[in-house]
Amino acid sequence: MGLPAEHVIDVAAVMRAATHDGAIWSVNSEQMNVNLMRLKTGATITPHVNAELDVLLAIYEGEGELVVDETTVALAPGIAVVVPRGVQRSLRCLRGPLVFLTAHRQRGGLMPR
């Protein structure tokens, strides 16, 4: 079967070329959903609960904060967080762009923006 070309990403090149917020690269395989996200300073992902899946966030650029239930996690390059399903979460970009990878088991639709 081989490795599909769209499953390989040059993160630095995609980050340099990005001009918009939201998903700047995505791949949906049979088993996984992976998105490279970008948020400008002050942008937020409003509080929500993902009852279905744990989600991995890996930060590449910028600074932000992730609030999981009542715990705040400082986000900066090199930080990775596994957010468990069933908890309330929100995210805010403090110094952008905030660029982060999300990965989780395949499901229908993207997280709320």
- Strand 32-39 vs strand 88-105: parallel, antiparallel, or unpaired? antiparallel
Weakest mean pLDDT among 7-11, 40-44, 64-68? 7-11
- Whether 96 is in a domain gets the answer yes
Under 8 Å CB-to-CB from 95, ≥6 apart: which residues?
41, 62, 63, 64
- Whether 83 is in a domain gets the answer yes
> Which pair of structure tokens corresponds to residue 104?
């989780």
Q: Domain span at residue 31?
A: 5-105
> What is the share, in percent, of the chain residues with pLDDT greater than 70?
94
- Whether 21 is in a domain gets the answer yes
Say how many domains are in the chain: 1
Check: CB of residue 89 under 8 Å from CB of residue 50.
yes
- The 10s digit of each residue's pLDDT in 12-36 is 899 999 999 999 999 988 889 999 9
- Whether 110 is in a domain gets the answer no
- The 10s digit of each residue's pLDDT in 72-111 is 999 999 999 999 999 999 999 999 999 999 999 887 555 4
- Whether 111 is in a domain gets the answer no
Per DSSP, the three-state class of 11 is helix
CATH code of 65's domain:
2.60.120.10
- Whether 25 is in a domain gets the answer yes
- Whether 113 is in a domain gets the answer no
